[in-house]
Structure 1
Amino acid sequence: MPLPPDIHRLLPAFLSAAQNDNFSAAARKLGVTPAAISKNIRVLEEKLSLRLFARNTHSVVLTDEGKALLQEVEPLWRALSSTLENAASSNRQPSGSVRVSAIPGFAQQQLIPLLPNFLAQYPELNLDLALDARVVNLVAEGFDVGIGNRVDPDSRLIARQLRPMRTMYAASADYLSQHPPLNTPQDLVHHSCLLHRNASTNQIIKWDLADSVPQGELSGRVVSTRPESLISSAINGLGVVGVAGWYIEPHLKSGALVPVLEDFWTAGVPLWLYYSSADLPPRVRVWVDFILEHFQP
């Protein structure tokens, strides 16, 4: 059966609603009304003789037929959009907005200081940064690029490894002068450990040291979801801190903190750059190239 000639007009509503599981969110993304989204999807269902969404008072959910259509159509639509954008941009500077999801510490400490150079080089580009310590569904949430060590599993994503996220350990000189020596990780049971709680899982983040660490025996009087507050606590003599190196390094250089257990620090966990296709539009390609230039191992 030949496709209806106006099928292209109806697909954006379907794709946006499928990605957001909500007609109102889809409407905001496309700049139309929820009624327009609902109408276009209803017309598409009639033309295809398929029920694409199961609707109730509070939400819409893809049917099996809708999921099958999304799986087939979404990569083709992205490829078409990218091709058209590349053609339109071939003779001019990259322009538009790049939506980026990045873990907060990396973005604040490593990435944002580099933005003036990038934005000066590409004056017609804007960056939309979402800095959340959570697992992100890159495609469904409409991000162009993700930077972190966890995203929702998706075979469509391309992952490029960046420099590892290394944990460093430190305390103030005053604290160390008043407490037992710290020669091995086992000595931590005699110290106040400033512990980092993952805000999204509510779990204490384990300390990553090369020798066995008695994780269950580590304790301290300060636990926080914010690494910056743990750094401040360490500077004020409240204990030993272990967080990503980009938080600690400036305070090691200033002398506010002293490194501990350096012989047991590990190489760290991988940090990744994620994006959805090798055929990127110019606005995204220049951002990906910029990140790789500065942060590849």
Structure 2
Amino acid sequence: METLANLESFVRSAETGSFSAAARRLALTPAAVSRNVALLERNLGVRLFQRSTRKLTLTEAGEHFLVEIGGNLDALQTAIASVSNDRSEPAGVLKVSMAPTFGITHVMPLLPAFLARYPKIRPDWHFENRPVDLIEEGYDAALGGGFDLAPGVVSRALAPAHLVAVASPAYMAGRLTPTDPGDLARLDGIVMRSSRTGRVRHRTMRNAVGDEMPAQLAETIMVNDPGAMREAAILGLGVTLLAVSDVLSSIEQGKLVRLLPRWYADAGAISIYYATRALLPAKTRVFVDFVVEAFERERLAERFAGSVG
């Protein structure tokens, strides 16, 4: 009987058209994938791929074999992962990437309860403002937004990433309160310069009825971290646009006030990302479930929605 590794290497190679792409999805080396496929061909006694320096092409026998096992392979992977995860206690190093402000504020507080439930897991958490490559860099999961869904990676949305305009009460004292996003341009602006492009990104805001208007903040102060933007606003240096998740506690504590309460900028979603490889480690599965449950329990999707005012 063929091993799951051989069958999986064949199916992923057929889907991606190369051993290298299949290897990234499976967290293997290209040589290992090629070896698995060659062993499968030898055992079956047929050639499954026509190989060239540029790509792989299925033979007629390979096309037929792919149709026969494609769906059954997914079912087999799920069954094996379920049995394995049920029998083994989650353990090992859990390497996770997350944005600093969001991670420290909303994910770090989950750690005590998570470790109490899964004491054999050892967190290796990286707080960084960049979309990591989960497979190439060896991450088990990542939290944030703006990730490209590379082959072999899936995302699960946790909450909306809505940006709102905020400033300190001291800064707004004696100043006219803006009535629409266009009014923000006459205030001192705290903006973020992209570490990748070096440019300042300006947003378009919308309201509940669908009206849209550019929010062209003055580039009075430029930083490269949302946490620094929040602190600059708290210090009374101007107005800024930040995700609700980054400023919610500051608003609740009275350190910041939300301007234009019916307007927000939609920056996508805050999601949790992980690889869709066979036999997803128990440590990753329980972490994803734990975070999802926490967001639902705390109603964070609703609380992070700038559209509700």
Q: Return the TM-score normalized by structure 2.
A: 0.66
Deviation at 1:156, TM superposition (A): 3.1
> Contact (CA 8 Å) 1:103, 1:132: kept in 2 or not?
yes
> Contact (CA 8 Å) 2:96, 2:126: kept in 1 or not?
yes
Match of 2:290 in 1: 290
The count of aligned residue pairs is 273
How far, CA to CA, are the matches of 2:204 and 2:189 in structure 1? 10
How far, CA to CA, are the matches of 2:146 and 2:278 in structure 1? 20
How far, CA to CA, are the matches of 1:214 and 1:133 in structure 2? 25
The unaligned stretches of length 5 or more in structure 2 are 10-18, 42-50, 58-65, 67-73, 302-309
Match of 1:119 in 2: 115
In proportion to residue count, which structure has more strand?
2
Match of 1:192 in 2: 188
SS of the equivalent of 1:127 reads strand
How far, CA to CA, are the matches of 1:93 and 1:294 in structure 2? 21
Look up the equivalent residue of 2:290 and give its one-letter code: F
Q: 1:150 to 1:288 in 2, by over 3 A?
A: same
How far, CA to CA, are the matches of 1:135 and 1:18 in structure 2? 22
> 2:98 pairs with 96, 102, 116, which one?
102
Match of 1:206 in 2: 203
SS of the equivalent of 1:200 reads coil
1:260-292 superposed Cα distances (whole Å, 9 cap, x missing partner): 110112565222222224852322211111121
User: Which range moved further: 275-284 or 179-188?
Assistant: 275-284
Q: 1:164 to 1:125 in 2, by over 3 A?
A: same
How far, CA to CA, are the matches of 1:153 and 1:88 in structure 2? 27
| Residue 281 in structure 1 maps to residue 273 in structure 2 | no
Q: 1:198 to 1:82 in 2, by over 3 A?
A: farther
SS of the equivalent of 2:134 reads coil
Match of 1:177 in 2: 173
How far, CA to CA, are the matches of 1:79 and 1:143 in structure 2? 25
> Contact (CA 8 Å) 1:86, 1:282: kept in 2 or not?
no
User: How well do the aligned residues superpose, as a CA RMSD in angstroms?
Assistant: 4.6
1:173-200 superposed Cα distances (whole Å, 9 cap, x missing partner): 2221232331111111211111122223
Look up the equivalent residue of 2:153 and give its one-letter code: L
Match of 1:218 in 2: 217
The unaligned stretches of length 5 or more in structure 1 are 12-16, 22-28, 31-36, 55-61, 66-71, 73-77
How far, CA to CA, are the matches of 2:132 and 2:55 in structure 1? 23
Within-5 A mapping of 1:12-91: 90-91=86-87
Q: 1:202 to 1:271 in 2, by over 3 A?
A: same
Once superposed, which parts of structure 1, at least 4 consecutive aligned residues long, lie more than 3 Å away? 62-65, 78-92, 207-215
> Contact (CA 8 Å) 1:163, 1:271: kept in 2 or not?
yes
> Contact (CA 8 Å) 2:164, 2:244: kept in 1 or not?
yes
How far, CA to CA, are the matches of 1:278 and 1:245 in structure 2? 36
Match of 1:227 in 2: 226
